[in-house]
A and B are shown apart, each in its own frame.
Chain A
């Protein structure tokens, strides 16, 4: 047992800590996403999705987006998924019911479409961003060191992107009103 661990650690040592963590948590994210879309119980799907989101938060942190990683946990996993679970429980759908996967035609279609999409996106991703607009290596990290992790995001948010910011607040207000109205028993 110890030898296995040693070999594994040696391998990961060769890789480097950052890459190791990246591949580990990517694997977790993909595996849990796959589980999420195939479980019979909606609650199980929701919980698997939460795990995926946690993994993604780690990935964000590894990619120098620490503030966003925390936001992911607080907002996405902590608020949105909780809302989902509330609604599932409210509608009493927690128990695993009969499988609601579509028939073989639907499965085939889904596989085909997502396969094609994967190929397309792979091609896009391989191309990468054009050289002309790329910043020098480590520019973002330097910015974060200079202004702080939060400050680096906050500064453009309140200067260049002030108007979208304010509009988003209006959007949230509208969503709140809409959700209240739609969910009322009697209008």
Chain B
């Protein structure tokens, strides 16, 4: 398998998007109006990369070896005892991520051709999108921490570029900056963790670190706990968990396909990928596992609560993403790596479907308002309603995704969510805190079903609030946009088969596929098993919870009582607190941003920079020199008598020194 051309040519999967970026970037600068060429390049490189990914996957499957194929290209950082090469690793985990990124990415690229058709920055958009895929693939294919970090930083950069794509408006530029800066805080954690790993194991290669870790790092000891916690800090930044989650809702300022690709399917899952990649380290640190799972569960509930009262369709989906990422971390924190990855893959399918569907809706709403020259918010659900008549395909496909995310069998989301919750419950017998996490997960599932149903009811059902003149212009999206929706719909339905549990007759294929990567961790921390009866109970309980959520939503919510956004009365009380996302941004601003700004201005600038550095060091040195010069000039009197006296003093000094 090592010498299989499909594996050795995996560098193509990097080169193709990079070439796409360069070509589209050149076109953006020189001939931005040639949209067809841009489309062909942009989509073509992704489709070709997907083909290479499939070939690599097939080669790996054929190879029947558990050893990863590590392809080293050049020696990047040979510094003292540290040897870091630019190397790519083709193994079970990276091929799964490869397929998800290139596959879902290709579909989103196709969708973007239709969605961004009228945008003047078309070429620039595809250039950035290709660049993003390039960096994301470096992240998942890296064979050592620094290469992965290059990808990690690169996707952060592209996220900034794409969120602030329409940078002419201040709010978009601010959102891009916020995303980048909050990510950087997490990246500091990643860097510290990298340093600690090097300090304790002497290497930064995945293979070396993970094989040596059980011997070099004391299980449960301070070193491995520190490393894993700092890595998780990076994950909270990249995957928008507590405390660094505030950037993701604001990131919805970017184009909707960007939200689908980056903030649903790929970039935000990088944190989960990192934890799965470092599963050996996490298996050695039970405290960190509790922290990861706990924060994941808390974030899941927190975001779900906020999502119940958001009016912007994309905000609801953003909080939903944060919530589902919380589930993934709950899964990998429990040690059920395959369950977490399973949910990552299924979530990529249905969340991308939801976002692209929302994109179709927003596209239609924009057209309607543009045609009547109205200035209403095209993303506010209060301006929608009854769109099922106008966008039937989108509506039905989004219902499929909604049922999946709510956890209705036999759709994909049911299997993955259930596996995570079962794993959490199983670990409860070992450590009671996990029962609490399981409880949080169940509450979140209820709320998920609720708010997703709410979204569907307000958007597609009930009376239409868009306006009489606009209604005539509402129409279904063109096939170039609806096509990818269909493909994602099929994947959402069928995706559950990837890892169906043996209880229901499935073969847990993904679990077996990922075994070479997770084997070491599983040896250190064997997964707990539930009795079949208990497992059936939990399964049925999950279905009931999902059904309950949908039923409550249908009975409680009154789409016909809604009023268009412009006329809607402002929210009060609890609704207002939830709409304002529990004032989290305001709290961060008061508690962290303002004190730091005060510190920078009052202390670091006025005192340290102006007084100490400028005043004392720079001006003070000049003043000292001038004073010394003035003193020296006092000696130049022209009076020979003085000169003679000084002369004699000098002679005395020399004599004294010479005779000591």
User: A residues bordering B, Cβ < 8 Å?
Assistant: 102, 106, 109, 113, 116-117, 120, 123-124
Is B641 a contact of A106 with CB atoms below 8 Å?
yes
Partner of A102, one of B641, B656, B659: B641
Shortest Cβ distance from residue A130 to the other chain B in the assembled complex, whole angstroms = 14
Partner of A113, one of B641, B649, B659: B649
Chain B residues, Cβ within 8 Å of A120? 652, 655-656, 659
Chain A residues, Cβ within 8 Å of B652? 113, 116-117, 120
B645: interface (CB < 8 Å): yes
Give 19 pairs: A residue, B residue, CB < 8 Å, sorted on A.
Answer: A102-B641, A106-B641, A109-B645, A113-B645, A113-B648, A113-B649, A113-B652, A116-B652, A117-B648, A117-B651, A117-B652, A117-B655, A120-B652, A120-B655, A120-B656, A120-B659, A123-B659, A124-B655, A124-B659
**Looking across the interface, which residue of chain B has its beta carbon closest to that of A114?**
B648
Chain B residues, Cβ within 8 Å of A123? 659
User: B residues bordering A, Cβ < 8 Å?
Assistant: 641, 645, 648-649, 651-652, 655-656, 659
**Looking across the interface, which residue of chain B has its beta carbon closest to that of A116?**
B652
Kindly state the separation between the CA atoms of A83 and B422 in the bound complex, as whole angstroms.
121
Kindly state the separation between the CA atoms of A167 and B651 in the bound complex, as whole angstroms.
28
Chain B residues, Cβ within 8 Å of A124? 655, 659
Kindly state the separation between the CA atoms of A113 and B656 in the bound complex, as whole angstroms.
13
Chain A residues, Cβ within 8 Å of B651? 117
**Looking across the interface, which residue of chain A has its beta carbon closest to that of B656?**
A120
Kindly state the separation between the CA atoms of A109 and B652 in the bound complex, as whole angstroms.
13
Shortest Cβ distance from residue B641 to the other chain A in the assembled complex, whole angstroms = 7
Chain A residues, Cβ within 8 Å of B648? 113, 117
Chain B residues, Cβ within 8 Å of A109? 645
Shortest Cβ distance from residue B647 to the other chain A in the assembled complex, whole angstroms = 10
Kindly state the separation between the CA atoms of A124 and B656 in the bound complex, as whole angstroms.
10
Kindly state the separation between the CA atoms of A106 and B639 in the bound complex, as whole angstroms.
13
Chain A residues, Cβ within 8 Å of B656? 120
Kindly state the separation between the CA atoms of A124 and B652 in the bound complex, as whole angstroms.
13
Chain A residues, Cβ within 8 Å of B645? 109, 113
Kindly state the separation between the CA atoms of A120 and B659 in the bound complex, as whole angstroms.
9
Shortest Cβ distance from residue B646 to the other chain A in the assembled complex, whole angstroms = 10
Interface centre among A102, A106, A120, A123 (most CB of B within 10 A): A120
Kindly state the separation between the CA atoms of A156 and B40 in the bound complex, as whole angstroms.
104
Per CB-CB distance, the 9 closest pairs between chain A and chain B, nearest first, are A120-B655, A113-B648, A116-B652, A109-B645, A117-B652, A124-B659, A120-B652, A123-B659, A120-B656
**Looking across the interface, which residue of chain B has its beta carbon closest to that of A109?**
B645
Kindly state the separation between the CA atoms of A137 and B652 in the bound complex, as whole angstroms.
33
Chain B residues, Cβ within 8 Å of A116? 652
Kindly state the separation between the CA atoms of A106 and B641 in the bound complex, as whole angstroms.
9
Kindly state the separation between the CA atoms of A102 and B651 in the bound complex, as whole angstroms.
21
Kindly state the separation between the CA atoms of A117 and B652 in the bound complex, as whole angstroms.
7
Kindly state the separation between the CA atoms of A124 and B648 in the bound complex, as whole angstroms.
17
Chain A residues, Cβ within 8 Å of B649? 113
Shortest Cβ distance from residue B607 to the other chain A in the assembled complex, whole angstroms = 48
Chain A residues, Cβ within 8 Å of B655? 117, 120, 124
Kindly state the separation between the CA atoms of A123 and B656 in the bound complex, as whole angstroms.
10
**Looking across the interface, which residue of chain B has its beta carbon closest to that of A120?**
B655
**Looking across the interface, which residue of chain B has its beta carbon closest to that of A127?**
B659
Kindly state the separation between the CA atoms of A119 and B655 in the bound complex, as whole angstroms.
11
Kindly state the separation between the CA atoms of A185 and B651 in the bound complex, as whole angstroms.
37
Chain B residues, Cβ within 8 Å of A102? 641
Chain B residues, Cβ within 8 Å of A117? 648, 651-652, 655
Shortest Cβ distance from residue A16 to the other chain B in the assembled complex, whole angstroms = 33
Kindly state the separation between the CA atoms of A114 and B655 in the bound complex, as whole angstroms.
13
Shortest Cβ distance from residue A167 to the other chain B in the assembled complex, whole angstroms = 26
**Looking across the interface, which residue of chain B has its beta carbon closest to that of A102?**
B641
